[in-house]
Chain A
Amino acid sequence: MTQSDSETPNAMISVRGVSKSFIKKRSIVSTLRFWRPKEQVAALDDVSLDLARGELVTLVGPNGAGKSTLLKIISTLIQPDSGTVFVDGKNVLKNPEDVKARIGYVLADERSFYWRLSCRENLRFFGSLQGLTAQNLDERIEISSAMFGLGEYLDKEFMNLSTGQRQRLALARGLIADPPIVLFDEATRSLDPGRAERMRWIVKDLLVKTQGKSVLFASHDMEEVRAISDRCILMVNGGIASVGSFEQIESRVREAFAEEARKETEEFTKLLETHGIAFDSKRVNQ
């Protein structure tokens, strides 16, 4: 992983100077004042990164740091305001379908299935959208579901699965087309500790070391990032704050999480004070 201003040849993902702002939700009154400039919230600010073939990079940072926005831009779900993104040499804006054919995206939202269909039927549907043919669809369903221990649940309706099983189905869906690049967005959020560890083993040893896939893994779980990372990127307030091995940047990662928590506690304390409730916030921030 490198972070530079020039494009790196042969990088599987190359992000250069990407910025993204969203229009802040407005009241009806301010919507009617359409001539006034719209208030914007910066989600990403001049982000650049490269991901090489067979490399695993973690994106770590507190909630709202811009990790999911970056993954969505790479997977063509969101358009950047400025900057360029290439996936295996394909521009995300000019060749979105080629880009999507190379990416498996494991969404953080484990509800994004058809609730009245079985796991197999869901995987069959999304597999066919991935371009898998009838011949290899069954084989890929079998492999990807077994990878996450879903074999016995394949014919169970999605609505009858537990949250963790749904999350594992989302993982299986992301890998069903055997893509060379995989993006994970908070992929172990709902898994029990044993399965989360098994999932980390699959990502690191099977997908990256054995199969040579490139993986971008977003998480706010520090222990997970420590266990899985060769290198990691700390994102804070939409920008890249640090890049290095987890050990190199651990103190900055801890500081970033603590800072976010401190801000929220201070705001909460002020709110309590306005209601006349005394609260010693120093004890919380210790």
Chain B
Amino acid sequence: MKTLITLWSFVRRDIKVAVSYRLQFFFQATAMLSICITFFFLTMMFSDVEANIASLDKYGGSYFAFVTIGIAISNYVDFSLRTFSSSIRQAQMTGTFEAMMTTPASIGVIIGGSSLYPLLFTSFRSVLLIFFGVFLFGIEIKLGSISALGLVIILTVICTLALGIFSAGFIVLFHRGDPVTAAVSGLTWFLSGVIYPKEILPDWVQSIAALLPVTHTLEALRLGLLQGASWNTQQNSIIGLALFAGITVPLAFLWFSWTIRRAKIAGALARY
């Protein structure tokens, strides 16, 4: 209970800071809307040939629906990692990171608490993008197994949290130059089927793509939201995400604890 109260104090802190930048909320919403509009017109450009793209059949045949979900999820992971690592970096620069480290709160609580708002805020952005797609641009939703979709979303959040913690470890150690965010964002964009179906990639590239959590999230969400897929159809994606989370979460916490120990040895917790 005490831990939950402490975690909530992080979220409350970050909401208050975010609300103090009033225009930011407005610009986030307009950014999502402009992404929707861009891809809506892009889709219109090749609407004549859309029906002939076989690799889209699996996802219901609409490129606009396909790409909206792709952008919503890749944006979610990319923006979460960037917000998370920048909040750690900012805490280093202002000295609040050192101030937090003088309190008896555990490293797990500090790092978990610091990640909550970025994850919640970017979830809001992604939901907003899909909301615009559905209610303004007519994406047809065929809802499948809600429990499977819920589990996919929870596992995606956990996987993103693990990647965020890896990224924060690099920030603690090197202050700048976090390779995790750049690598995950770059590879996701290229391999996971964000703007094109991953099925068009060579088989061996698809095998590499299966190592990325976003590949499984996109597959599951597209099938679950656009094709009404059942729990059984979603099973492989859920197993892929669960494996990634099961391996990376403990590793991420070990990595972060190690980087904190290294920073304490180097006296670099407050260095920037």
Which chain A residues have a beta carbon within 8 Å of chain B's beta carbons?
Answer: 20, 22-23, 43, 69, 72, 75-79, 97-98, 100-101, 103, 105, 107, 109, 111-117, 121, 124-126, 128-131, 133-134, 173
Chain A residues lying within 8 Å of B261, measured Cβ to Cβ, are: 79
Contact between A111 and B94 (Cβ–Cβ < 8 Å)? Answer: yes
Assess A128 versus B102: contact at CB under 8 Å? Given A72-B267, A117-B17.
no
Q: Closest CB of chain B to A40's CB: distance in Å?
A: 11
**A116–B98 touching, CB < 8 Å:** no
B100 pairs with A109, CB closer than 8 A: no
Contact A77 B17 (CB under 8 A): no
The count of residues in chain B whose C-beta lies closer than 8 Å to any C-beta of chain A is: 31
Is B20 positioned at the interface, with any CB of A under 8 Å from its CB? Answer: yes
Give Cα A103 to B94, complex, Å: 22
Q: Is the interface of A mostly helix, strand, loop or mixed?
A: mixed
**B9 within 8 Å of A (CB atoms):** yes
Known A78-B267, A117-B16; judge A107-B102 contact (CB<8 A). Answer: yes
Contact with B9, one of A79, A109, A129 (Cβ below 8 angstroms): A129
Cβ of B104 < 8 Å from any Cβ of A? Answer: yes
Q: How many A-B residue pairs have CB under 8 A?
A: 94
Residues of A within 8 A of B229 (CB): none
Known: A112-B94, A130-B104. Contact between A22 and B13, CB under 8 A? Answer: no
- Give the residues in chain B near A117, CB-CB below 8 Å: 13, 16-17, 20
CB <8 Å contact, A129 and B6: yes
Evaluate contact between B104 and A101: CB separation under 8 angstroms. yes
- Rounded to whole angstroms, the CA-CA distance of A105 and B98 in the bound complex is 11
Q: Of all chain A residues, which has the CB nearest B2?
A: A131
Sample 24 A-B pairs with CB under 8 A, ordered by A number: A22-B266, A22-B267, A43-B267, A69-B267, A72-B267, A77-B101, A78-B264, A78-B269, A79-B261, A79-B265, A107-B98, A107-B99, A109-B270, A112-B94, A112-B98, A112-B99, A113-B94, A116-B20, A117-B13, A128-B9, A129-B104, A131-B6, A131-B105, A133-B5
